[in-house]
Amino acid sequence: MKKLLFIAAAGLLTLVLTSCVGNPNTPEGIVTSAMECMVDKDYAGYVDLMYFKGKDELSKEEKAQFVSILEEKAGKDIEKKGGIKEFKVGVPKLDGDKARVPVDITYGDGSSKKDDVAVIKTPDGDWKLDSGK
């Protein structure tokens, strides 16, 4: 009986935790995931969320190059501002298989920035960050 109760409690906990995550395969879900990667300095995770037209997958060298660029440019800028304190993802503006998602970013130094993130629906039907390439 104790095992059954434990299994039921574990199942309920799993259901509650996964219901808070939301759907990452939406324009706002992908942008939220991307912003979380930037907060966590997970540049490889950010690159995994990007879509490169005509490529199913990047080579290890290509991925490493994009990770390095992100770390060098965006990472250092974010670090200078004290990191990302919080972000708010807005309602996407859809245009067919493309969308622009507004994001309000507040940095650790108190400064803030409004940005629009371009996303695209891939041929597989998944939403990804539009690399423009």
Q: Under DSSP, is residue 51 helix (H, G, I), strand (E, B) or coil?
A: strand
Give the start-to-end residue ranges of the domains of the chain: 24-130
Distance CA(40)–CA(36), nearest Å, equals 6
CATH class of domain segment(s) 24-130: alpha beta
CB 110 within 8 A of CB 88: no
Distance CA(77)–CA(114), nearest Å, equals 15
Render each residue's pLDDT in the chain as its tens digit; 133 residues: 555 444 544 444 444 333 334 468 899 999 999 999 999 999 999 999 999 887 778 889 999 999 999 999 888 999 999 999 999 999 999 999 999 999 999 999 999 999 999 999 999 899 999 987 6
